[in-house]
Structure 1
Amino acid sequence: MSDRLITIDDVRAAARAIHGKIENTPFLHSQTLSELTGADIWLKFENLQFTGSFKQRGALNKLLSLLPEQRAKGVITVSAGNHAQGVAYHAGQLGIPATIVMPVSTPSVKAQRTAKLGAEVLLIGASFAEASAEIPRLIAARGLTLVHPFDDDLVMAGQGTVALEMLGARSDLDTLVVAVGGGGLIAGVATVARALHPGLEVIGVQSDRFPSMAKHIGKWDKEVPGGASIAEGIAVAVPGERTRRHVAALIDDIIVVPEHRIETAIALLLQIEKTLCEGAGAAGLAAVLADPERFRGKRVGLILCGGNIDNRLLGAILQRQMVRDERLFKLCIQLADQQGQLGVLCTEIGLAGGNINTVVHDRTFLVNDAKSARVELEVEVADPAMRAVIEARLAALGFILE
């Protein structure tokens, strides 16, 4: 493996190779997010690529480099979803057979879309690492060519074309904030930044479940905990060797953010920008939300690098965000077990502006005596201040709030 880092010429060559086959996605200012964070926020909408992710760029650049005999035998990759779809789509366009190995934990929406694009999908292993362990065996058995999701110079160069477009549109950016999993995107982005604007700050972002690149470059001094992550697209336990060298040489810092910040960023992008992002796609905004003083007054470019998220997961995130915003809460109330009391209770909550989503009424297990009942109500309000109004109204009527 060469010690040579990729160069701006490699990225420019990739841009020429993929031109006309990849969308030059919008790069737009967000007035509301700028007001919210105190930074001047610019968003690169890579979630609007055909497969919903920037990963098409590197995948296509690699596929275009293959020799005729390699194309005829086919390619293989391992991916949690976005790279898989990029390889599957462009391999199909080029007539190249593609085999995709995915962890069994991959969101169903990503596995289904990959299969619909014409690739053979193999669900193997509980994690990216376990899925990756099968690749050498399959390569040897089938004579396939590996299209690595990140640790490949042509892939990194393809991902760097995002930064060419961003800096071509706004050469006055102060900071680029980039989600980091295996490191292919930030390696390509940093290569462009250092060549075109050496003073431009390049900051990576990782979830606190998988701060693997941060640990490898000395920005995280604890173990990598792993586990289920809202940002499965960057849930990589071991970053690439090539990408690690680029990151160590070219970037300024890596910020590690808690999962709940990523959830909040997903909800804000949907509510404010009306754009759907997966966890990895929202990680850059999560970093700004986690430390707004660091970015205050700076012109910040964020890459919304992916938009493939399971509908059920999205629903849970939005519900949880309503709880954080105090627009969804639970009331636990002891009341006399008498006819009409539950009706009165619900009516008063409604009159005070609350919308009741669920009611659990118990007169057996959770009460102190046989003449009492306990009610748990999930209540939704338009304004967080309405909770205090509802509770005061109920207390004045003699209801006992736990």
Structure 2
Amino acid sequence: MPSTGEAVATPTTDTDGYFNGTDGSAATNGNKANSSNSDDPHGVAEINEMTRTRSLTADASKRPRTPTGSMALTDYSVNPTTPSAEKRQLIKEIVPEDFLLPNGHPDYLRLIASATSRVYEACKVTPLTHAVNLSNRLETKVLLKREDQQPVFSFKLRGAYNKMAHLDPKKSWRGVVCCSAGNHAQGVAYSARKLRIPATIVMPEGTPAIKHQNVARLGGHVVLHGADFDAAKEECARRVKADSLINIPPFDDPYVIAGQGTIGNELFGQTNMSQVDAIFCCAGGGGLIAGIGLYVKRMAPHVKVIAVEAEDANALAQSLEKGERVVLDRVGLFVDGAAVRSVGEETFRICREVVDEVVQVTVDEACAAIKDVYDDTRCSVEPAGGLSVAGLKKYMRLRRQRGEPVDDLSSRTMICVTSGANMDFDRLRFVAERASMGGGREALLHVRIPERPQAFAELIDAIMGHPVTEFSYRYSSDDVANIFFGLSLVAPPDERAEELRTLLERIRAEPGFDVTDVTRDELAKSHIRHLVGGPSSVKDERLYMFNFPERPRALEKFLAVLRPRFNISLFHYRNSGGDVGKILTAITCPDGHADELDKFLNDIGYPYEECTDSPLFKAFLRA
């Protein structure tokens, strides 16, 4: 069984749980079960997936009322609780008393208004562009808020600069520090150079050179420390105390939130907000969606604020569901710009007030969204930057599947915030490979046909009209042939599920034929498609799929730990250009030593999944 403890492969990203000095003690542990469904990869049962709706209703007599002019079409129904005396004092140490509400919380409207006087010293008003292709396909007007066009290619510059611009010069001259290897690090380094404040950026020793070189180029003093982010965060905290440096948090700070909130302010000068139905934002630690949501809900409460998360990094969805902050045991690393183990304390309080829904998307859906943005803009955004578009597409699809009216949305506007574009070029290979599956344009199939003359011809006849994207076969027995192939689905998006169902029925109708849709099977997509070559009859063979951090010599270290103890009968690794690597390995282990092997694998500390009983393993790699 896979380990349920914390993964060693913590995200090397600017949102990796550095909660403004807190240790997450107010949060509870939680883990989301694997939601992939190999029997339904193209949306047939997506109607049952979580698309939580947050109701913001309250006692009408107690609601703070927003003036109902051309913008505010409904009441803003929020009654935040009064912070404790201890929390109130903590807020006062950060926010001047003039910028506090009577209940003790920050007055974010005033903070955002104040931020506009400083943020644009470093940031620019990003364009709100019409996504023509996406609009035509979804039959609603889609606008992209292009935060990927900021000087550091991410919205993070807004919050970092606003926080640093409001520091007391009597303290800031000593310098600032942050722990990050992503967009937040670049935002802090750029802001420090602009404000002439010394900046130290702490990163793990295994951080890819391109990341720490970019930060150094922007003017930050990079310190590489420790094997992972936990060690780097400890070093960051040590420098705060030892050198009297000021920590710049990535999201859980009123000035950071207000800086991101200037995006909401810009929207009102760029489009008619009375025609906007919803705004989609990646969730991450919550700073972006909290800042935008606070402003939009006060000025145009009818606009839905919809958070989008990856299914394997859904801290906000779980926290809203449980009513308290949840700390994930493990976090998927593909959407690294939004990979957090827990949302911030202040951002969670705000999200409970302003977030209407949370939509969760798969890695493949995020890849498809990156392609959609590219088709409309000829620009490649990072996975977190594509989350908002992926969420919009899934939101519209689920509405149609639930039978909810969508015709009224044809005259409405949807806004997606493309939050950033800091992606390594090597990752584009993986994105391109997965985009067609995430968009429902490609299916991967495992077909069993009788090993007899004309069987191949009958299979080709059955799939006629569907372009084949890949085809793998090797003789294995006199009775049955196992074939792995991919093909393109050519029907309109809303009809592809039916198209695939019809195709599967047509294949099964052939005598002796059987077929399984493996489009959402991670083992199939990451490994089996590259390994089809002949079965083996190795005795006592067990198959495992590992995720491990992509840092220098990590693969060699993994092999060095594994090989002395056990015999490896299969090994497959493919670099996809990301921060996490995938390994498929088979280990020979008699039943009497199974417990010893399980303990050994758990002690390694890398997330893994046993695939010994996988039908694909038995069909293609076992005799």
User: Taking structure 1 as the reference length, what is the TM-score of the superposition?
Assistant: 0.80
Q: Which residue of 1 aligns with 2:114?
A: 13
For 1:19 and 1:233, how far apart are their aligned partners in 2? 23
Q: Deviations over 1:311-350 (max 9, x none)?
A: 222211111223555569799999x9xxxxxxxxxxxxxx
Residues 228, 7 of structure 1: alpha-carbon distance in 2 compared, 3 angstrom cutoff: closer
Q: Which residue of 2 aligns with 1:201?
A: 304
Q: Which residue of 2 aligns with 1:305?
A: 419
For 1:47 and 1:159, how far apart are their aligned partners in 2? 13
Q: Which residue of 2 aligns with 1:162?
A: 263
Deviation for aligned residue 1:359: 8.2
Q: Deviations over 1:166-207 (max 9, x none)?
A: 122122222111111111111111121122112221121222
Q: Which residue of 1 aligns with 2:533?
A: none
Deviation for aligned residue 1:233: 1.0
Matches for 1:231-310 after TM superposition, within 5 Å: 231-292=335-396, 293=399, 296=406, 297=409, 298-310=412-424
Q: Which residue of 2 aligns with 1:65?
A: 166
1:55 maps to amino acid: K
Q: Which residue of 2 aligns with 1:33?
A: 134
For 1:295 and 1:164, how far apart are their aligned partners in 2? 30
2:204 is equivalent to residue 91 of structure 1:
no
Deviation for aligned residue 1:150: 0.6
Q: CA RMSD in A?
A: 4.1
1:313 maps to amino acid: R
Matches for 1:202-221 after TM superposition, within 5 Å: 202-218=305-321
Q: Secondary structure at the match of 2:360?
A: strand
2:430 maps to amino acid: A
CA contact (8 A) 2:364 2:434 kept: no
For 1:6 and 1:134, how far apart are their aligned partners in 2? 33
Unpaired segments of 5 or more residues in structure 1?
Answer: 337-351, 393-399
Residues 130, 166 of structure 1: alpha-carbon distance in 2 compared, 3 angstrom cutoff: farther
For 1:356 and 1:290, how far apart are their aligned partners in 2? 25
Deviation for aligned residue 1:381: 7.5
Matches for 1:130-145 after TM superposition, within 5 Å: 131-145=232-246
1:213 maps to amino acid: L
Q: Secondary structure at the match of 1:22?
A: coil
Residues 91, 33 of structure 1: alpha-carbon distance in 2 compared, 3 angstrom cutoff: same
The structure 1 residue matched to 2:428, chosen from 294, 305, 314, is 314
CA contact (8 A) 1:160 1:187 kept: yes
Unpaired segments of 5 or more residues in structure 2?
Answer: 1-89, 92-103, 452-464, 497-501, 507-512, 516-623
Q: Secondary structure at the match of 1:239?
A: coil
For 1:56 and 1:180, how far apart are their aligned partners in 2? 17
Q: Which residue of 2 aligns with 1:182?
A: 285
For 2:206 and 2:405, how far apart are their aligned partners in 1? 35
For 1:42 and 1:246, how far apart are their aligned partners in 2? 25
Deviation for aligned residue 1:224: 3.4
1:210 maps to amino acid: A
CA contact (8 A) 1:214 1:220 kept: no
CA contact (8 A) 1:107 1:310 kept: no
Tell me whether 97-106 or 15-24 shows the greater mean CA deviation. Answer: 97-106
Tell me whether 281-290 or 211-220 shows the greater mean CA deviation. Answer: 211-220
For 2:431 and 2:277, how far apart are their aligned partners in 1? 31
Q: Deviations over 1:65-112 (max 9, x none)?
A: 123343321111122411111111121222222111235676654333
For 1:382 and 1:141, how far apart are their aligned partners in 2? 60
1:249 maps to amino acid: E
2:385 maps to amino acid: G
- How many equivalent pairs are there? 388
1:58 maps to amino acid: G
For 1:223 and 1:146, how far apart are their aligned partners in 2? 22
Residues 29, 101 of structure 1: alpha-carbon distance in 2 compared, 3 angstrom cutoff: same
Deviation for aligned residue 1:287: 1.1
For 2:363 and 2:217, how far apart are their aligned partners in 1? 31
For 2:306 and 2:482, how far apart are their aligned partners in 1? 49
Residues 34, 144 of structure 1: alpha-carbon distance in 2 compared, 3 angstrom cutoff: same
Deviation for aligned residue 1:122: 3.4
User: Taking structure 2 as the reference length, what is the TM-score of the superposition?
Assistant: 0.53
Q: Deviations over 1:1-29 (max 9, x none)?
A: 23513421110110111224311111012
CA contact (8 A) 1:75 1:99 kept: yes
Q: Which residue of 2 aligns with 1:343?
A: none
Residues 354, 195 of structure 1: alpha-carbon distance in 2 compared, 3 angstrom cutoff: closer
CA contact (8 A) 2:441 2:489 kept: no
Residues 133, 225 of structure 1: alpha-carbon distance in 2 compared, 3 angstrom cutoff: same
Deviation for aligned residue 1:60: 0.9
Residues 359, 249 of structure 1: alpha-carbon distance in 2 compared, 3 angstrom cutoff: closer
1:268 maps to amino acid: D
2:221 is equivalent to residue 120 of structure 1:
yes
Q: Secondary structure at the match of 2:201?
A: strand
Deviation for aligned residue 1:155: 0.9
For 2:234 and 2:343, how far apart are their aligned partners in 1? 14
For 2:405 and 2:156, how far apart are their aligned partners in 1? 27
Q: Secondary structure at the match of 1:168?
A: coil
Residues 94, 226 of structure 1: alpha-carbon distance in 2 compared, 3 angstrom cutoff: same
For 1:149 and 1:295, how far apart are their aligned partners in 2? 39
1:193 maps to amino acid: V
Residues 38, 381 of structure 1: alpha-carbon distance in 2 compared, 3 angstrom cutoff: closer
For 1:265 and 1:367, how far apart are their aligned partners in 2? 42
Tell me whether 166-175 or 211-220 shows the greater mean CA deviation. Answer: 211-220
For 1:249 and 1:280, how far apart are their aligned partners in 2? 23
Residues 382, 286 of structure 1: alpha-carbon distance in 2 compared, 3 angstrom cutoff: closer
For 2:441 and 2:278, how far apart are their aligned partners in 1? 33
Deviation for aligned residue 1:248: 1.6
Q: Which residue of 2 aligns with 1:100?
A: 201
Q: Secondary structure at the match of 2:309?
A: strand
Q: Which residue of 1 aligns with 2:328?
A: 224
Residues 376, 216 of structure 1: alpha-carbon distance in 2 compared, 3 angstrom cutoff: closer
For 1:161 and 1:124, how far apart are their aligned partners in 2? 34
Deviation for aligned residue 1:376: 8.2
Q: Secondary structure at the match of 1:114?
A: helix
CA contact (8 A) 2:141 2:414 kept: yes
Tell me whether 119-128 or 271-280 shows the greater mean CA deviation. Answer: 119-128
Q: Which residue of 1 aligns with 2:609?
A: none
For 1:55 and 1:307, how far apart are their aligned partners in 2? 11
Tell me whether 137-146 or 114-123 shows the greater mean CA deviation. Answer: 114-123
